[in-house]
Amino acid sequence: MEIIALILFISLFLLMMYGYPVAYTLGGLSLIYALCFIDWTALEILPTRYMSIMTNQVLIAVPLFVFMGVMLEKSGIAARLLETTAALFGRRPGGLAIAVIVVGSMLAASTGIVGATVVTMGLISLPIMLRRGYSPELATGTIVASGTLGQIIPPSIVLVLLGSVLQVSVGRLFRAALLPGIGLVVCYLFYVIARSVMRPQEAPSLSDEILSEYKRSGYGRRLILAWLLPLLLIALVLGSILAGIASPTEAAGLGAAGAIILAAVQRQLSLKVLQEACSETTLLTGMVFMILMGASCFGFVFRELGGDELLVQVISSHDLSPRMFLVVVMVLVFVAGFFIDFIEIIFIIVPIVAPLFVLYDMDLVWIGILLAMNLQTSFLTPPFGFSLFYLKGVAPPEVTTAQIYRGVLPYLGIQLLFLVLLMVWPEIIYLL
């Protein structure tokens, strides 16, 4: 039976790589194996498992955070942030790239939706960077890497989902992710500054004519408004969680309401915008919950077939230390990120290894941050990194896929180095 569980796991990955829909593959294939190899009466527990998913208070935060991000994207806050921040840093070499990283971190802390951030910054900043003489590799790599910061900087949907799977407080995960998120931004900035100093021809400064155009009358007021509105929303959402005033779900509700208010303040709120935001939120939320229900079925059948016992036997027979087991899991998650989406990794791999982390008496908050940082790389790893596809879809025709791949590699290296740093010094996540 344990071998059948292993075959189920392998066949699942093969079908997903072949292109079958993830949610239906997870649930459908698991049911076929269940009907063939286990007692049918055991399946009576599945409706109860599905109801526990749909009534999970933590998971209510997912559609609320998604709605908040979509509404902010429609309000044009990203465009105003990029314009004003570019003028702020434009006099120095690499100033536009610095502005993209700063704005990416701001959008990550106020939206947390990777696709929307990458597409928005790609449409707005990439043509400008290329016209000003930026290296295509540096420009595309900076945009893609900055757009994925929403994976680790709270409020992150990844952290919400990991909190649910690992059964740890989402608020604790948010607090623990703050310093790693800030540290990653600082590392990106150091890299851009160092590269622009060593190769100024790849990241030239803006001309005085362009800066004067940006800094036309009312620039100071526009700068304050462009930064003030996202900062207010960040303070509302994260501040209420970290101060213990609201749970992550309640804070997500505040964020959704705050996004509507900001759209109204920007005079971008209309029935059409509201309909589009609700439609995108429904689509994304439906996708997440369908995958979650399919993964729940897979997890149940995998355990009924003895797959978890097989995993324990393999680990015990190799006498792996807790640290060595952690390294194996991190490598597995990193490699899986080459081929499948982060949501699928969270709902397929993490539930299988989570009991073993508990068995090893490891800090699940620390594990959650390591997994979130690792999953962030899945958006950047060629050939199937989703952020690479997002940017390629909106990039000018002269920007090649190979240039995007080469541009993202230094940032991928920075993320992996930072991941190793967190594994060696777990105390970092508790410094704030």
Q: Is the pLDDT of residue 367 over 90?
A: yes
Nearest to 349 by CA among 422, 295, 419: 295
Helix residue ranges, H only, 111-154: 114-131, 136-147
Amino acid symbol at 281: T
Compute the average pLDDT of residues 269-297.
83
Is the pTM higher than 0.75? The answer reads yes
* Rounded distance between C-alpha atoms, residue 42 and residue 122, angstroms: 50
- Give the model's pLDDT for residue 209: 64
Q: What is the pLDDT of residues 306-365, one digit of tens each?
A: 776 776 676 667 777 888 889 988 988 888 777 666 777 888 788 888 888 988 889 999
Q: Is the pLDDT of residue 189 over 90?
A: yes
Nearest to 173 by CA among 148, 149, 151: 151
Crossing angle between the packed helical segments 61-74 and 271-304, to the nearest 10 degrees: 150
**And the tokens for 61?**
């935060």
Sign for the CA dihedral angle at 179, 185, 189, 191 comes to: positive
Q: Over the range 143-165, which residues count as b (16 or more CB within 10 Å of their CB) and which as e?
A: bbbbbbbbbbbbbbbbbbbbbbb
Q: Is the pLDDT of residue 259 over 80?
A: yes
CA angle (27 as vertex; 25, 32 as ends), nearest 5: 90
- Give the model's pLDDT for residue 385: 72
- Looking at every residue in the chain, the average pLDDT score rounds to 82
* Rounded distance between C-alpha atoms, residue 14 and residue 36, angstroms: 20
Residue 220 or 164, more confident:
164
Helix residue ranges, H only, 19-168: 22-37, 46-54, 61-74, 77-89, 95-110, 114-131, 136-147, 157-166
Tell me what percent of the residues of the chain surpass a pLDDT of 90: 13
Residue 112 or 186, more confident:
186
Q: What is the pLDDT of residues 205-240, one digit of tens each?
A: 766 666 666 666 666 777 777 788 778 888 888 888
* Rounded distance between C-alpha atoms, residue 254 and residue 153, angstroms: 18
Max CA separation in the chain (angstroms): 75
Domain total of the chain: 1
Residue whose tokens read 């649910």: 164
Compute the average pLDDT of residues 152-159.
84
Contacts of 355 (CB under 8 A, 6+ apart): 308
- Roughly how many angstroms between the first and final C-alpha of the chain, as a whole number? 47
Domain encompassing residue 364? 2-430
Helix residue ranges, H only, 319-431: 322-336, 342-348, 350-359, 364-377, 386-394, 401-424
**And the tokens for 229?**
């509105």
Compute the average pLDDT of residues 85-112.
78
Contacts of 245 (CB under 8 A, 6+ apart): 239
